[in-house]
Structure 1
Amino acid sequence: MIKACLFDLDGTLLPMDTMAFAKVYLNALASKVKHLISPQKLIKAIWQATEAVIRNDEEDLTNEQVFEREFIHLTGIRREEIWPYFDDFYAHEFPALSKYTQMSPLSRKVVETAILNGYKVVVATNPVFPEMAILERLRWAKIDDLPFEWITVYENSHFCKPNPRYYLSVAEKIGVHPEECVMIGNDMQEDMVASTVGMKTFFLTDYRIDLGKPVYPVDEEGSLQDLLAALENRTGPFKNE
């Protein structure tokens, strides 16, 4: 019996071209701290530190701690020198980047329907961003006021997609078995890997990302409208067993 719905954010509940957005976002962040580090070096360090977070398999460290350790090692800049500028960026400049995303009223309807059906609902976005940035993107999607069971951010998470331990940790956090979850997302490699720990999956095709390999089994695929219909009618992975 399904007890929880895990929703990806970027390209799922918040329609966007993820790579195009990342480029704009990193350029804006680099401009904020160009007096401390050249934009080119900053962007390279962020990508490398993020890759270290994604590779990390140490459960005693949060993603934030891994990112900080790697970023400081790569740049030689102390946290107290640059983090206040990062925080100020997310508080004041980051909100303006909403224009590079879209808002679909279907996103709110989908989440509300899942909650109405009695499911625990998680924002299972890849936790490589700080909480400030993820909560801001929830505002862009007009779903920030909904009662989510859990939101994965880099301060409260120890693993990232596509590590299967990320999905196991989310299920453990909300008190359900992986087999009682449906993972909903638009990325074959990052989201559908949830099937390897026993979760059911819904592959969203509106902004699908598929690098070709590996390929994971999908219980159902379709648009956001198709997802809403499946939730409303309790069909596909949401069918009562």
Structure 2
Amino acid sequence: MSISTILFDLDGTLLEMQTEPFVQQYLKVLGSHVGDAYDTQKMLGLIWDGTKAMIMSKDAEKTNEQVFMEYFAEHGEWNLDELWPIFDAFYRDVFPSLMEHTQPSPWAKQIVEAAKGQGFRIAVATNPVFPRDAIHHRLSWIGLNPADFELVTVYEESHFTKPNTEYFSEICSKLGVEPGDCVMVGNHMQEDMVASKLGMKTFLVTNWLEDRGEPQYAVDQKGSLEELHQAISQRSGVFAK
């Protein structure tokens, strides 16, 4: 059975970057934005723990945003009606400055255009632990926007995160496809290649490869962004007709 749909990871895949230093800088800038009116270190710790709560959640009735906000309300000491507009302003106005901590390349747009040219359905399967604005900004850094894709996973709409297989199942449900119709393209062994457990084909991008060691998952094909572009353009390997 040939593949009809390609799911692209964003950070470290389409958007070239080292994830850990980027996240550290993101938290630093967020802390500065929040300012002295709040206990910054306590708040950043709560954001980190709230992110973990999203990753651990298996509640299909709650979006990741709802899980995060409920955790924040339960464990924090701040009025969310006052705090959330500050967060919204950060993601809208300040987050774009973090582009300097990434290394956007022309490959992303070329790969997406090649996939469209070959008739593939495409989606952005980025870990939905960020608000919509933060994810859309990162797409813009590589010259893309949500309209280029059938689906972009964001925390306001997603009910699961990587590395949970339910995350990939939800994408399939929204797109109306089976796992066997899809290739998951990503740079992370544990968070992206786990899609193979559902029966998806996988392509491991090696430019900014991340691998914590365990667990290991099936990799059907791997290569650089240039090799990914070539494979899609030529309909070879996992992308063969």
Kept in 2, the 8 Å contact 1:27–1:39? The answer is: no
Matched with 2:229 is 228
Matched with 1:131 is 132
Deviates more, 1:59-68 or 1:69-78: 69-78
Matched with 1:203 is 204
1:145, distance to aligned residue in structure 2 (A): 6.4
Matched with 2:43 is 42
1:78, distance to aligned residue in structure 2 (A): 2.5
Output aligned runs, 1:26-65, within 5 Å.
Answer: 26-65=27-66
What TM-score results when the alignment is normalised by the length of structure 2?
0.97
Count matched residues.
240
1:35, distance to aligned residue in structure 2 (A): 3.2
AA at the equivalent of 2:233: E
1:93, distance to aligned residue in structure 2 (A): 1.0
Q: Which runs of 5+ in 2 are unaligned?
A: none
2:145 is equivalent to residue 144 of structure 1:
yes
Identity of aligned pairs, percent?
47
In the alignment, the residues of structure 2 paired with residue 70 and residue 78 of structure 1 have an alpha-carbon distance, to the nearest angstrom, of 13
In the alignment, the residues of structure 2 paired with residue 70 and residue 156 of structure 1 have an alpha-carbon distance, to the nearest angstrom, of 17
AA at the equivalent of 2:150: E
Partner-residue secondary structure (3-state), 2:166: helix
Residues 73 and 145 of structure 1, relative CA distance in 2, 3 Å threshold: closer
Partner-residue secondary structure (3-state), 2:202: strand
Partner-residue secondary structure (3-state), 2:148: coil
Deviates more, 1:223-232 or 1:77-86: 77-86
In the alignment, the residues of structure 2 paired with residue 105 and residue 37 of structure 1 have an alpha-carbon distance, to the nearest angstrom, of 40
In the alignment, the residues of structure 2 paired with residue 78 and residue 163 of structure 1 have an alpha-carbon distance, to the nearest angstrom, of 31
Kept in 2, the 8 Å contact 1:162–1:193? The answer is: yes
Matched with 1:11 is 12
1:15-34 CA distances to partner (integer Å, 9 max, x unpaired)?
A: 01100000111111111223
In the alignment, the residues of structure 1 paired with residue 142 and residue 44 of structure 2 have an alpha-carbon distance, to the nearest angstrom, of 26
In the alignment, the residues of structure 2 paired with residue 78 and residue 123 of structure 1 have an alpha-carbon distance, to the nearest angstrom, of 33
1:189-213 CA distances to partner (integer Å, 9 max, x unpaired)?
A: 0000000001000000100110000
In the alignment, the residues of structure 2 paired with residue 131 and residue 120 of structure 1 have an alpha-carbon distance, to the nearest angstrom, of 21
Output aligned runs, 1:67-216, within 5 Å.
Answer: 67-144=68-145, 147-216=148-217
Kept in 2, the 8 Å contact 1:183–1:192? The answer is: yes
In the alignment, the residues of structure 2 paired with residue 234 and residue 146 of structure 1 have an alpha-carbon distance, to the nearest angstrom, of 24
1:82-101 CA distances to partner (integer Å, 9 max, x unpaired)?
A: 01001111111111111001
Deviates more, 1:16-25 or 1:76-85: 76-85
1:231, distance to aligned residue in structure 2 (A): 0.3
In the alignment, the residues of structure 1 paired with residue 110 and residue 170 of structure 2 have an alpha-carbon distance, to the nearest angstrom, of 27
Deviates more, 1:215-224 or 1:111-120: 111-120
Kept in 2, the 8 Å contact 1:205–1:223? The answer is: yes
Kept in 1, the 8 Å contact 2:136–2:146? The answer is: no
